[in-house]
Structure 1
Amino acid sequence: MKAMILAAGYGKRMRPLTDHTPKPLLRAGGKALIEYHIEALRDAGIESLVINTGWLGEKLVAFLGEGTRYGIPLVYSHEGTPLETAGGIKRALPLLGDQPFVLINGDIWTDFDLTRLVDNRPDPVHLVLVNNPEHHPKGDFHLTDTSRLRDNAEPKLTYAGIGRFDPAIFAQLADGEAKLAPVLRAAMADDAASGEHHAGQWWDIGTPERLAELDRLLSGT
Protein backbone atom coordinates (compact mmCIF):
# COMPACT_ATOMS: atom_id res chain seq x y z
CA MET A 1 0.00 0.00 0.00
CA LYS A 2 1.17 3.55 -0.75
CA ALA A 3 0.64 6.78 1.11
CA MET A 4 0.79 10.47 0.25
CA ILE A 5 1.99 13.28 2.51
CA LEU A 6 0.68 16.73 1.63
CA ALA A 7 3.61 19.14 1.82
CA ALA A 8 3.04 21.74 -0.91
CA GLY A 9 1.44 24.62 1.01
CA TYR A 10 2.91 28.07 1.54
CA GLY A 11 2.60 27.99 5.35
CA LYS A 12 1.61 31.66 5.38
CA ARG A 13 0.28 31.55 8.95
CA MET A 14 3.67 30.34 10.16
CA ARG A 15 5.67 33.28 8.85
CA PRO A 16 8.42 34.27 9.40
CA LEU A 17 9.37 30.66 10.20
CA THR A 18 8.34 29.56 6.70
CA ASP A 19 9.97 32.39 4.79
CA HIS A 20 12.96 30.13 4.12
CA THR A 21 11.77 26.71 5.38
CA PRO A 22 8.84 24.65 4.06
CA LYS A 23 6.34 24.09 6.84
CA PRO A 24 6.75 20.27 7.04
CA LEU A 25 10.46 20.79 7.80
CA LEU A 26 9.77 22.91 10.87
CA ARG A 27 11.06 21.07 13.91
CA ALA A 28 9.43 19.91 17.14
CA GLY A 29 11.03 17.59 19.66
CA GLY A 30 14.29 17.62 17.68
CA LYS A 31 12.71 16.29 14.49
CA ALA A 32 11.06 17.76 11.39
CA LEU A 33 7.26 17.43 11.45
CA ILE A 34 7.24 15.38 8.25
CA GLU A 35 9.74 12.89 9.66
CA TYR A 36 7.21 11.77 12.29
CA HIS A 37 4.81 10.90 9.45
CA ILE A 38 7.43 9.10 7.37
CA GLU A 39 8.45 6.91 10.28
CA ALA A 40 4.86 6.23 11.40
CA LEU A 41 3.74 5.29 7.89
CA ARG A 42 6.77 3.03 7.44
CA ASP A 43 6.06 1.32 10.74
CA ALA A 44 2.40 0.89 9.76
CA GLY A 45 3.43 -1.21 6.76
CA ILE A 46 3.26 1.39 3.99
CA GLU A 47 5.55 0.35 1.15
CA SER A 48 6.33 3.73 -0.45
CA LEU A 49 5.45 7.39 -0.04
CA VAL A 50 4.50 10.16 -2.42
CA ILE A 51 5.23 13.68 -1.19
CA ASN A 52 3.86 16.66 -3.10
CA THR A 53 5.98 19.79 -3.16
CA GLY A 54 5.30 23.43 -3.87
CA TRP A 55 6.71 26.28 -1.82
CA LEU A 56 10.46 25.67 -1.27
CA GLY A 57 9.95 22.11 -2.47
CA GLU A 58 13.57 21.76 -3.46
CA LYS A 59 14.49 22.02 0.22
CA LEU A 60 12.18 19.11 1.06
CA VAL A 61 13.83 16.95 -1.58
CA ALA A 62 17.33 17.96 -0.48
CA PHE A 63 16.57 17.17 3.17
CA LEU A 64 14.60 13.93 2.76
CA GLY A 65 16.26 12.47 -0.31
CA GLU A 66 15.00 9.17 -1.68
CA GLY A 67 14.12 7.82 1.76
CA THR A 68 17.19 5.64 2.26
CA ARG A 69 17.83 6.73 5.83
CA TYR A 70 14.16 6.22 6.72
CA GLY A 71 13.93 2.73 5.24
CA ILE A 72 11.07 3.59 2.86
CA PRO A 73 11.16 4.84 -0.76
CA LEU A 74 10.16 8.49 -1.26
CA VAL A 75 9.00 9.93 -4.57
CA TYR A 76 7.92 13.50 -5.25
CA SER A 77 5.04 15.11 -7.11
CA HIS A 78 6.21 18.61 -7.99
CA GLU A 79 3.47 21.21 -8.32
CA GLY A 80 5.27 24.53 -8.54
CA THR A 81 2.23 26.61 -7.64
CA PRO A 82 0.28 24.60 -5.02
CA LEU A 83 -2.87 23.00 -6.46
CA GLU A 84 -4.91 22.65 -3.23
CA THR A 85 -5.44 19.17 -1.77
CA ALA A 86 -7.59 17.47 -4.42
CA GLY A 87 -5.63 19.08 -7.25
CA GLY A 88 -2.40 17.85 -5.72
CA ILE A 89 -3.77 14.32 -5.40
CA LYS A 90 -4.96 14.43 -9.02
CA ARG A 91 -1.47 15.44 -10.14
CA ALA A 92 0.05 12.59 -8.11
CA LEU A 93 -2.28 9.80 -9.33
CA PRO A 94 0.29 8.32 -11.76
CA LEU A 95 2.61 7.85 -8.77
CA LEU A 96 -0.10 6.54 -6.44
CA GLY A 97 -1.49 3.89 -8.78
CA ASP A 98 -5.00 2.46 -8.80
CA GLN A 99 -5.19 0.99 -5.29
CA PRO A 100 -6.44 2.76 -2.13
CA PHE A 101 -3.86 4.94 -0.43
CA VAL A 102 -3.39 6.67 2.92
CA LEU A 103 -3.32 10.48 2.97
CA ILE A 104 -1.93 12.70 5.73
CA ASN A 105 -1.32 16.41 6.02
CA GLY A 106 2.33 17.28 6.45
CA ASP A 107 1.66 20.02 9.00
CA ILE A 108 0.00 18.04 11.78
CA TRP A 109 1.27 15.86 14.60
CA THR A 110 -0.69 12.95 16.05
CA ASP A 111 -0.41 9.68 17.91
CA PHE A 112 -3.15 8.08 15.76
CA ASP A 113 -2.37 4.45 14.91
CA LEU A 114 -1.97 4.53 11.13
CA THR A 115 -2.14 0.73 10.89
CA ARG A 116 -5.91 1.20 11.18
CA LEU A 117 -5.91 2.69 7.67
CA VAL A 118 -3.87 -0.11 6.15
CA ASP A 119 -6.61 -2.61 7.00
CA ASN A 120 -9.07 -3.20 4.15
CA ARG A 121 -12.11 -0.90 4.16
CA PRO A 122 -15.05 -1.05 1.75
CA ASP A 123 -15.72 2.68 1.31
CA PRO A 124 -13.97 4.92 -1.24
CA VAL A 125 -13.46 7.50 1.53
CA HIS A 126 -12.57 6.89 5.16
CA LEU A 127 -11.65 9.87 7.35
CA VAL A 128 -10.17 10.27 10.80
CA LEU A 129 -11.99 12.89 12.87
CA VAL A 130 -10.91 14.57 16.10
CA ASN A 131 -12.48 16.73 18.78
CA ASN A 132 -12.97 20.30 17.63
CA PRO A 133 -9.99 22.48 18.59
CA GLU A 134 -10.45 25.98 19.92
CA HIS A 135 -9.54 27.51 16.57
CA HIS A 136 -12.15 25.39 14.72
CA PRO A 137 -15.09 25.05 17.15
CA LYS A 138 -17.83 24.21 14.63
CA GLY A 139 -16.09 21.17 13.18
CA ASP A 140 -16.44 19.72 9.69
CA PHE A 141 -18.52 16.55 9.49
CA HIS A 142 -20.95 14.48 11.51
CA LEU A 143 -20.07 10.90 12.43
CA THR A 144 -23.08 8.64 12.90
CA ASP A 145 -23.34 5.79 15.40
CA THR A 146 -22.69 3.42 12.49
CA SER A 147 -19.48 5.24 11.45
CA ARG A 148 -21.01 6.96 8.42
CA LEU A 149 -20.05 10.52 7.56
CA ARG A 150 -22.65 13.23 6.99
CA ASP A 151 -22.24 16.85 5.99
CA ASN A 152 -25.69 18.11 7.03
CA ALA A 153 -26.07 16.82 10.59
CA GLU A 154 -24.94 17.87 14.05
CA PRO A 155 -22.82 17.65 16.12
CA LYS A 156 -19.73 17.81 13.96
CA LEU A 157 -16.14 16.76 14.54
CA THR A 158 -13.03 18.10 12.83
CA TYR A 159 -11.35 16.35 9.90
CA ALA A 160 -7.87 15.46 11.12
CA GLY A 161 -6.15 15.65 7.75
CA ILE A 162 -5.78 11.86 7.81
CA GLY A 163 -7.69 9.38 5.67
CA ARG A 164 -7.79 6.48 3.27
CA PHE A 165 -8.96 7.10 -0.30
CA ASP A 166 -9.75 5.23 -3.47
CA PRO A 167 -7.91 7.08 -6.26
CA ALA A 168 -10.91 6.61 -8.56
CA ILE A 169 -12.77 9.44 -6.81
CA PHE A 170 -10.13 11.88 -8.07
CA ALA A 171 -9.72 10.48 -11.57
CA GLN A 172 -12.46 12.60 -13.16
CA LEU A 173 -11.21 15.89 -11.75
CA ALA A 174 -9.81 18.35 -14.25
CA ASP A 175 -6.11 19.05 -13.97
CA GLY A 176 -5.34 22.13 -11.93
CA GLU A 177 -6.37 23.60 -8.61
CA ALA A 178 -9.15 21.74 -6.77
CA LYS A 179 -10.23 21.62 -3.13
CA LEU A 180 -10.86 18.39 -1.22
CA ALA A 181 -14.11 19.39 0.53
CA PRO A 182 -16.39 19.08 -2.56
CA VAL A 183 -14.98 15.61 -3.25
CA LEU A 184 -15.69 14.55 0.33
CA ARG A 185 -19.21 15.99 0.31
CA ALA A 186 -20.01 14.19 -2.94
CA ALA A 187 -18.90 10.89 -1.38
CA MET A 188 -21.04 11.56 1.68
CA ALA A 189 -24.05 12.35 -0.49
CA ASP A 190 -23.60 8.92 -2.09
CA ASP A 191 -23.19 7.28 1.35
CA ALA A 192 -19.69 6.27 0.26
CA ALA A 193 -17.78 7.79 3.17
CA SER A 194 -17.04 6.30 6.58
CA GLY A 195 -15.06 7.64 9.49
CA GLU A 196 -13.69 7.11 12.95
CA HIS A 197 -13.08 9.33 15.97
CA HIS A 198 -9.56 9.68 17.35
CA ALA A 199 -9.67 10.97 20.90
CA GLY A 200 -5.91 11.02 21.41
CA GLN A 201 -3.23 13.55 20.59
CA TRP A 202 -3.68 15.67 17.49
CA TRP A 203 -2.04 18.98 16.73
CA ASP A 204 -2.72 21.29 13.81
CA ILE A 205 0.49 23.29 13.55
CA GLY A 206 -1.14 26.47 12.29
CA THR A 207 0.74 29.08 14.30
CA PRO A 208 4.28 29.51 15.62
CA GLU A 209 2.83 29.38 19.13
CA ARG A 210 1.33 25.93 18.56
CA LEU A 211 4.63 24.70 17.14
CA ALA A 212 6.44 25.95 20.24
CA GLU A 213 3.89 24.26 22.50
CA LEU A 214 4.27 20.96 20.63
CA ASP A 215 8.03 21.27 20.86
CA ARG A 216 7.77 21.63 24.63
CA LEU A 217 5.52 18.56 24.82
CA LEU A 218 7.76 16.35 22.69
CA SER A 219 10.94 17.60 24.35
CA GLY A 220 9.52 16.98 27.81
CA THR A 221 10.23 20.52 28.91
Structure 2
Amino acid sequence: MMFAAGFGRRMGNLTKDTPKPLIRVAGVPLIDHTLCLVREINSDHIVANVHYLPDALVNHFRGSEVALSHESPDILETGGGLKHALPLLGKGPVFTTNTDAIWQGPNPFMLALSHWAPSTMDALTVCIPTENAIGHSGQGDFRLSSQGKVSRGPGVVYGGVQILKTDGLFGIQEASFSLNRLWDNMIANGTLYGVIYPGKWCDVGSAEGIALAENLLRDTHV
Protein backbone atom coordinates (compact mmCIF):
# COMPACT_ATOMS: atom_id res chain seq x y z
CA MET A 1 0.00 0.00 0.00
CA MET A 2 1.58 3.25 -1.17
CA PHE A 3 0.14 6.31 0.56
CA ALA A 4 -0.38 8.93 -2.15
CA ALA A 5 -3.59 10.73 -1.21
CA GLY A 6 -2.26 13.65 0.83
CA PHE A 7 -2.35 17.35 0.01
CA GLY A 8 1.40 17.98 0.29
CA ARG A 9 0.86 21.38 1.91
CA ARG A 10 4.47 21.61 3.14
CA MET A 11 5.54 21.67 -0.51
CA GLY A 12 3.95 25.11 -0.95
CA ASN A 13 3.21 26.15 -4.53
CA LEU A 14 4.84 23.01 -5.94
CA THR A 15 1.67 21.06 -5.14
CA LYS A 16 -0.80 23.69 -6.34
CA ASP A 17 -1.32 21.80 -9.60
CA THR A 18 0.69 18.61 -8.99
CA PRO A 19 0.12 15.96 -6.31
CA LYS A 20 3.17 15.53 -4.09
CA PRO A 21 3.87 11.93 -5.25
CA LEU A 22 4.48 13.30 -8.75
CA ILE A 23 6.97 15.99 -7.69
CA ARG A 24 10.23 15.11 -9.41
CA VAL A 25 13.45 14.31 -7.57
CA ALA A 26 16.45 13.86 -9.88
CA GLY A 27 14.01 13.85 -12.79
CA VAL A 28 11.88 11.00 -11.43
CA PRO A 29 8.48 11.34 -9.69
CA LEU A 30 8.79 10.71 -5.96
CA ILE A 31 6.36 7.82 -6.01
CA ASP A 32 8.37 6.09 -8.76
CA HIS A 33 11.44 6.04 -6.52
CA THR A 34 9.32 4.09 -4.02
CA LEU A 35 7.71 1.91 -6.68
CA CYS A 36 11.14 0.84 -7.93
CA LEU A 37 11.91 -0.56 -4.47
CA VAL A 38 8.46 -2.17 -4.19
CA ARG A 39 8.86 -3.99 -7.49
CA GLU A 40 11.99 -5.70 -6.21
CA ILE A 41 9.97 -7.74 -3.68
CA ASN A 42 7.61 -9.11 -6.37
CA SER A 43 4.43 -8.20 -4.52
CA ASP A 44 1.20 -9.82 -5.75
CA HIS A 45 -0.76 -6.58 -5.29
CA ILE A 46 0.43 -2.98 -5.41
CA VAL A 47 -2.10 -0.30 -4.44
CA ALA A 48 -1.87 3.48 -4.16
CA ASN A 49 -4.58 5.58 -2.59
CA VAL A 50 -5.59 8.84 -4.28
CA HIS A 51 -7.58 11.88 -3.20
CA TYR A 52 -5.88 15.20 -3.99
CA LEU A 53 -5.64 15.86 -7.76
CA PRO A 54 -6.43 12.19 -8.43
CA ASP A 55 -6.60 12.47 -12.23
CA ALA A 56 -2.87 13.14 -12.43
CA LEU A 57 -2.11 9.89 -10.59
CA VAL A 58 -4.72 8.00 -12.60
CA ASN A 59 -2.98 9.09 -15.78
CA HIS A 60 0.47 8.36 -14.35
CA PHE A 61 -0.38 4.76 -13.48
CA ARG A 62 -2.58 3.97 -16.46
CA GLY A 63 -1.42 0.69 -17.98
CA SER A 64 0.74 -0.25 -14.97
CA GLU A 65 0.26 -2.96 -12.36
CA VAL A 66 -0.65 -0.37 -9.70
CA ALA A 67 -4.30 -0.45 -8.61
CA LEU A 68 -5.81 2.76 -7.27
CA SER A 69 -7.98 3.15 -4.19
CA HIS A 70 -10.05 6.31 -4.55
CA GLU A 71 -10.91 8.24 -1.40
CA SER A 72 -13.93 10.47 -1.92
CA PRO A 73 -15.44 12.80 -0.86
CA ASP A 74 -13.14 12.87 2.19
CA ILE A 75 -9.53 11.83 2.69
CA LEU A 76 -9.31 8.87 5.07
CA GLU A 77 -5.84 9.25 6.66
CA THR A 78 -3.44 6.32 6.85
CA GLY A 79 -5.57 3.89 8.84
CA GLY A 80 -8.83 4.62 7.12
CA GLY A 81 -7.14 4.65 3.74
CA LEU A 82 -5.56 1.26 4.34
CA LYS A 83 -8.84 -0.22 5.55
CA HIS A 84 -10.64 1.16 2.48
CA ALA A 85 -8.01 -0.40 0.20
CA LEU A 86 -8.07 -3.91 1.72
CA PRO A 87 -10.33 -5.39 -1.00
CA LEU A 88 -7.57 -4.53 -3.49
CA LEU A 89 -4.72 -5.73 -1.28
CA GLY A 90 -6.02 -9.17 -0.31
CA LYS A 91 -5.73 -11.03 2.96
CA GLY A 92 -2.81 -11.27 5.32
CA PRO A 93 -0.15 -8.83 6.48
CA VAL A 94 0.65 -5.97 4.12
CA PHE A 95 3.47 -3.56 3.50
CA THR A 96 2.59 0.11 3.84
CA THR A 97 4.88 2.85 2.64
CA ASN A 98 4.98 6.59 2.46
CA THR A 99 5.98 7.98 -0.91
CA ASP A 100 7.98 11.05 0.13
CA ALA A 101 11.36 9.62 1.06
CA ILE A 102 14.59 8.64 -0.67
CA TRP A 103 16.66 5.71 0.63
CA GLN A 104 20.41 5.19 0.28
CA GLY A 105 21.39 1.63 1.13
CA PRO A 106 19.64 -1.74 1.08
CA ASN A 107 16.04 -2.09 -0.02
CA PRO A 108 13.98 -1.31 3.12
CA PHE A 109 11.24 -3.72 2.08
CA MET A 110 13.74 -6.56 1.80
CA LEU A 111 15.19 -5.59 5.18
CA ALA A 112 11.76 -5.75 6.81
CA LEU A 113 11.00 -9.12 5.21
CA SER A 114 14.24 -10.58 6.50
CA HIS A 115 13.33 -9.61 10.10
CA TRP A 116 9.58 -10.28 10.02
CA ALA A 117 8.45 -12.73 12.73
CA PRO A 118 4.66 -13.03 12.54
CA SER A 119 4.46 -15.29 15.59
CA THR A 120 5.51 -12.41 17.85
CA MET A 121 4.96 -9.25 15.76
CA ASP A 122 1.80 -7.43 14.75
CA ALA A 123 3.86 -4.83 12.90
CA LEU A 124 7.51 -4.25 12.03
CA THR A 125 8.62 -0.70 11.29
CA VAL A 126 11.82 0.32 9.49
CA CYS A 127 13.53 3.00 11.57
CA ILE A 128 16.50 5.30 11.01
CA PRO A 129 18.95 6.69 13.56
CA THR A 130 18.52 10.46 13.73
CA GLU A 131 22.08 11.07 12.48
CA ASN A 132 21.20 9.24 9.25
CA ALA A 133 17.78 10.90 8.77
CA ILE A 134 18.48 13.75 6.35
CA GLY A 135 16.02 16.61 6.31
CA HIS A 136 14.32 15.44 9.49
CA SER A 137 14.15 17.72 12.49
CA GLY A 138 13.38 16.50 15.97
CA GLN A 139 14.58 13.75 18.25
CA GLY A 140 12.84 10.83 16.60
CA ASP A 141 9.55 8.99 16.88
CA PHE A 142 10.31 5.74 18.72
CA ARG A 143 12.56 4.07 21.22
CA LEU A 144 13.61 0.48 20.53
CA SER A 145 14.37 -2.03 23.25
CA SER A 146 17.25 -4.48 22.95
CA GLN A 147 14.70 -6.96 21.54
CA GLY A 148 13.46 -4.43 19.01
CA LYS A 149 10.16 -3.63 20.73
CA VAL A 150 8.85 -0.14 20.05
CA SER A 151 7.76 2.45 22.58
CA ARG A 152 6.97 6.13 22.10
CA GLY A 153 9.67 8.69 22.67
CA PRO A 154 12.85 10.18 21.21
CA GLY A 155 15.31 7.77 19.67
CA VAL A 156 14.86 6.73 16.04
CA VAL A 157 12.85 8.06 13.11
CA TYR A 158 10.09 6.01 11.50
CA GLY A 159 11.06 5.79 7.84
CA GLY A 160 7.56 5.22 6.49
CA VAL A 161 7.93 1.51 5.60
CA GLN A 162 6.39 -1.28 7.66
CA ILE A 163 4.85 -4.73 7.58
CA LEU A 164 1.48 -4.69 9.33
CA LYS A 165 -1.21 -7.19 10.27
CA THR A 166 -4.54 -5.64 9.33
CA ASP A 167 -6.89 -7.43 11.76
CA GLY A 168 -6.97 -4.49 14.15
CA LEU A 169 -8.42 -2.20 11.51
CA PHE A 170 -11.83 -3.82 11.85
CA GLY A 171 -12.18 -2.81 15.48
CA ILE A 172 -12.15 0.89 14.57
CA GLN A 173 -15.52 2.25 13.47
CA GLU A 174 -14.53 5.69 12.18
CA ALA A 175 -14.00 6.01 8.44
CA SER A 176 -11.01 8.33 8.81
CA PHE A 177 -8.25 7.54 11.33
CA SER A 178 -4.50 7.29 11.70
CA LEU A 179 -2.49 4.08 11.90
CA ASN A 180 -1.22 5.51 15.18
CA ARG A 181 -4.41 4.05 16.65
CA LEU A 182 -3.21 0.54 15.79
CA TRP A 183 0.34 1.28 16.89
CA ASP A 184 -0.80 2.42 20.32
CA ASN A 185 -2.68 -0.86 20.81
CA MET A 186 0.34 -2.85 19.65
CA ILE A 187 2.70 -0.93 21.94
CA ALA A 188 0.39 -1.72 24.85
CA ASN A 189 0.47 -5.41 23.88
CA GLY A 190 4.23 -5.48 23.20
CA THR A 191 3.75 -6.48 19.55
CA LEU A 192 5.04 -3.40 17.70
CA TYR A 193 8.66 -3.89 16.64
CA GLY A 194 11.28 -1.94 14.75
CA VAL A 195 14.36 -2.74 12.73
CA ILE A 196 17.21 -0.28 12.22
CA TYR A 197 17.98 0.73 8.65
CA PRO A 198 21.76 0.61 8.08
CA GLY A 199 21.88 3.29 5.38
CA LYS A 200 20.70 6.86 5.00
CA TRP A 201 17.20 8.22 4.43
CA CYS A 202 15.95 11.61 3.29
CA ASP A 203 12.58 13.16 4.07
CA VAL A 204 11.12 14.93 1.03
CA GLY A 205 8.05 16.24 2.80
CA SER A 206 8.90 19.85 1.99
CA ALA A 207 10.37 21.74 -0.95
CA GLU A 208 13.70 22.03 0.86
CA GLY A 209 13.95 18.26 0.94
CA ILE A 210 14.20 17.99 -2.84
CA ALA A 211 17.75 19.34 -3.03
CA LEU A 212 18.79 17.25 -0.02
CA ALA A 213 17.42 14.11 -1.67
CA GLU A 214 19.11 14.89 -4.99
CA ASN A 215 22.42 15.36 -3.18
CA LEU A 216 21.94 12.01 -1.47
CA LEU A 217 21.23 10.32 -4.80
CA ARG A 218 24.25 12.01 -6.33
CA ASP A 219 26.44 10.69 -3.52
CA THR A 220 24.98 7.21 -4.07
CA HIS A 221 26.16 7.14 -7.67
CA VAL A 222 29.58 8.72 -7.18
Aligned pairs for 1:80-99 (under 5 A) are 80=72, 81-99=74-92
Calculate percent identity across the aligned residue pairs: 30
- What is the distance in 2 between the residues matched to 1:135 and 1:49? 27
> How far apart in 2 are the matches of 1:174 and 1:66?
35
User: What is the one-letter code of the residue matched to 1:124?
Assistant: D
User: 2:125 aligns to what?
Assistant: 127
| 1:175 positional shift | 4.4
Alpha carbons 1:29, 1:217 under 8 Å: kept: no
Q: 1:108 to 1:37 in 2, by over 3 A?
A: same
Distance 1:213 1:127 in 2: 24
In the other structure, the counterpart of 1:211 is 210
- Correspondence list, 1:65-144, <5 A: 65-67=62-64, 73-80=65-72, 81-111=74-104, 112-113=106-107, 114-119=109-114, 120-122=116-118, 123-132=121-130, 133=133, 135-144=136-145
Q: What code does the residue aligned with 2:179 have?
A: L
Is 2:189 the counterpart of 1:190? yes
SS at match of 1:103: strand
Matches of 2:93 and 2:36 in 1, distance apart? 20
Asked if structure 2 preserves the Cα contact closer than 8 Å seen for 1:102 and 1:118, the reply is no
**Which residue identity lines up with residue 148 of structure 2 in the other structure?**
S
Give TM-score, length-normalised by structure 1: 0.88
- Report the Cα distance in structure 2 between the residues aligned to 1:57 and 1:85, rounded to whole angstroms: 17
Deviations 1:176-221 (A, max 9, x none): 2101212111101101111111131211112211112322443569
Deviating beyond 4 angstroms after TM superposition, the runs of 4 or more aligned structure 1 residues are none
Equivalent residue for 1:170? 169
Q: CA deviation digits over 1:20-71, x for unaligned, max 9?
A: 111011111121111111111111222220100010111011012241xxxx
> Could you tell me how far apart the structure 2 residues matched to 1:161 and 1:30 are?
22
Decide whether aligned partners of structure 1 residues 213 and 139 sit closer, same or farther in structure 2, where only a CA change above 3 A counts: closer
- Superposed CA RMSD: 1.9
Contact 2:202 2:212 in 1 (8 A): no
| 1:161 and 2:160 aligned | yes
1:77-133 CA distance string (max 9 Å, x none)? 101332111111111111122211111101111134221233452111111111235
Asked if structure 2 preserves the Cα contact closer than 8 Å seen for 1:127 and 1:164, the reply is yes
Q: What residue identity is the alignment partner of 1:117?
A: A
- The secondary structure found in structure 2 opposite 1:188 is helix
Task: State the distance in 2 between where 1:204 and 1:116 align.
Answer: 19
Q: Say if 2:38 is the partner of 1:41.
A: yes
C-alpha displacement of 1:141? 1.3
Alignment partner, residue 70 of structure 1: none
Q: TM-score, normalised by structure 2?
A: 0.87
Residue of structure 2 equivalent to 1:13: 10
- Unmatched tracts of structure 1, length 5 or more: 68-72
Corresponding residue to 1:27 among 24, 28, 42: 24
Number of residues of Structure 1 aligned to a counterpart in Structure 2: 211
